[in-house]
Amino acid sequence: MIAHRGASGQLAENTLPAYELAIEQRADMIEIDLHRTRDGATVVAHDEDLAGLGGKGEIAAATLAEVRALDAGGGERVPTLDEVLDRFGGRIPFNLELKRGSSATYEGLERVALDAVRKRGLLEQTLFSSFFDPVLERLRALAPEARLARLFSPRDPERPLERARAVGAEAINPWRGLLQPELIEVGREVIESFIKEDERLAPFAFQLDDSLRNAPHTLGLEAEQTLSYLSQSFGGPSSTYSLIANSDIPWPTIALSDGEEALIDTQGYGRVRGSQNRDDRKLAFDTYWGKWGEYRNSVGMVLNSHIQTQVGLAKARNYDGVLQRELHQDNLPPAVYHTLVEEVNKALPTLHRYFKLRQRMLGVEQMHYYDIYPPLVSLDKEFDVETSKAITLEAMSVLGDDWVDMQTKAINERWMHVYPQRGKRAGAYMSGFAYDVHPYLLLNHNDDYASLSTMAHEWGHAMHTLYARQEQPFQTANYATFIAEIPSTSLELILQDYMQKNAESIDEKLFYLGHALEGMRGTFFRQTMFAEFELSLYEAAERGEALSGDRISEMYAEILRRYHGHDDGVVIIDDLYANEWMFIQHFYFNMYVFQYATSKTAGTALYSKIVNEGEAGVENYKDLLRAGGSNYPYLLLADAGVDLAKPEPYEAIVAKMNAIMDEMEALLDEAQ
């Protein structure tokens, strides 16, 4: 495993801390990029210009002191090659990429790099790489024993093997788009015969099958090369949207009922919409969606550009539509998507029942959209980190001793960054990209139940990663997004059941049950609503319909009102709130959101097997985790007894939601 510019996914690329972390994560090699300054120093940075470091001009036109005065990220300075080799050269091999500037060839860089490596006795473990044949030819002339690699980009794809041999390279580092057309040209029959003849290819069998099944949608080399030139512009709408949403909108301030002023940006809206004061949350809704409405035409044009781009790309690759393309990535049958939407629409009476229960518990005469978010019951309990760890481990006892032993050992290691701090990323996530290193978890723990639930959720991801690595080689350890949220969802469900069984009062039990209901509303129903809306946008574009901001709002208003029972007086949706689509960044992720709903469904089904089947259900669940990415995700789930192309799993989660409401209504009646 080669750490590209160090552990660049977590720390600033091409910095000393990024290299240190790559070694801690057991990378096999570190790739770094070499440039020369005006005064002849060899520095490590990716780009030839200084813009990414906050400077101006090119490295070749700056002195070492001028380059070192800039911030490489996190307060670090751009290192020199000597610094890097002195500190790390004896600890890990390096791949040194010799670069060029836009207007500078870095004359003498080959000799300087060779001398730096030779004087430290590192020549045998160092790989020198370049996109440029003359650079590699000079390296070969200076050091016949040097290890060379030829880089190939979309702009330089021709005859890679022949050209690499011509400069004496032992390896090529190709643009990925070069490989798939060549594999497909060789053909399935030949490749499968290679796999049978050479057992070393066995770990790659699934990846090769995945490449070969893309034959109908893989273009010729010239067409693939042309599309690659445009790849950055394809992301233009998403980047533009991010600028509008996060930088360009001047968010207003409102006065709350207690005299406090609140900035109604995305964070302020998220806080005030859950207020117990109904006037405050209505004011937050009206202010926030009113401000978004001022940008409806612009954001509509941006989203339309994204949709039209994706429709065009799907056609270019011979797909029937964007939905087929997106499902094809993980080999998912279209019935999964369509069955989800159909079953959720059938279950809308259950969602409306929840809204009526919410109406009863909030004590309002008529539910409005701004009544969705305030908690039904407050909980005066704190869950600090140690308490959260203890509860999580106790709750997971249903998964067996081996699970608890593994998680106990892991959760007491220093794998988690737990508390919020200035400059830290919001939210929570698990990073498990380094195969032979433990996963890392980022949390922002606030000592409340939501933080406890989040901890359980993220440990679901981490345990999935650990179980997969027990059974799978590197090639098949990583699992698809379609599978990824299932273990995390399952652990949330296990925790919820544990908490409600151990609740000390009716109010506490109502709190946990209400939290479970809100999770089903927000994940199973709301994300499916988004998925249905998103598909309607793509289908409209594929029919040739124009999509303006006003038209998109009309389409969103129809589906929003249908899901919330507006016409039947269940939840009233004001016209202004039809601007909500503008807030959902996931619409730029291409048919992604439905997987939240399918994961919730599958997690519920698997937990039901654990409850009903005992040890057999537990082993079935663990087998899914151990499978990693060794097969297509739909097939892995089907092997675990959950077929998401059929109605039964969706019917089961709806039945569970109704059962929770039965219990809550009985508790409320008992408390009266």
Q: How far apart (Å, rounded) are the C-alpha atoms in residues 668 and 672?
A: 6
Q: DSSP assignment, residue 43?
A: E
Q: DSSP assignment, residue 522?
A: I
Contact 31, 95 (CB under 8 A): yes
- Token pair in block for residue 339: 């069955």
Contact 510, 358 (CB under 8 A): no
Residues in contact with 476: Cβ distance below 8 Å, sequence separation at least 6, in sequence order: 203, 206, 207, 628, 629, 630
458: annotated active-site residue:
yes
Q: How far apart (Å, rounded) are the C-alpha atoms in residues 657 and 662?
A: 9
Contact 491, 460 (CB under 8 A): yes
199: number of Cβ within 10 Å: 8
- Alpha helices by DSSP H, 294-362: 296-316, 322-329, 334-346, 348-362
Contact 508, 379 (CB under 8 A): yes
Q: How far apart (Å, rounded) are the C-alpha atoms in residues 84 and 94?
A: 10
Q: How far apart (Å, rounded) are the C-alpha atoms in residues 485 and 552?
A: 29
**Exposure b/e, 141-161, CB count within 10 A at least 16 = b:** eebeebbbbbbbebebbeebe
Contact 451, 443 (CB under 8 A): yes
* Candidate list 13, 48, 97, 458, residue with the active-site label: 458
State phi, psi for 393 to the nearest 5 degrees. -65, -40
Q: How far apart (Å, rounded) are the C-alpha atoms in residues 67 and 561?
A: 57
Q: How far apart (Å, rounded) are the C-alpha atoms in residues 170 and 154?
A: 21
Residues in contact with 265: Cβ distance below 8 Å, sequence separation at least 6, in sequence order: 249, 251
Give the DSSP H/E element, type plus range, for residue 253. strand 253-255
> In the chain, what are the helix, strand and coil shares in percent, each to the nearest 5?
60, 10, 30
- Token pair in block for residue 481: 């997004």
Q: Is the dihedral of CA 546, 550, 554, 556 positive or negative?
A: positive
Beta strand 94-98 with 429-431 is: unpaired
Strands (E), 407-549: 416-417, 429-431, 440-442
Query: Which residues, in sequence order, are bridge partners of residue 29?
Result: 2
**Exposure b/e, 512-539, CB count within 10 A at least 16 = b:** bbbbbbbbbbebbbbbbbbbbbbbebbe
> Taking Cα atoms as reference points, which of 516, 538, 388 lies closest to residue 459?
388
Catalytic residues: 458
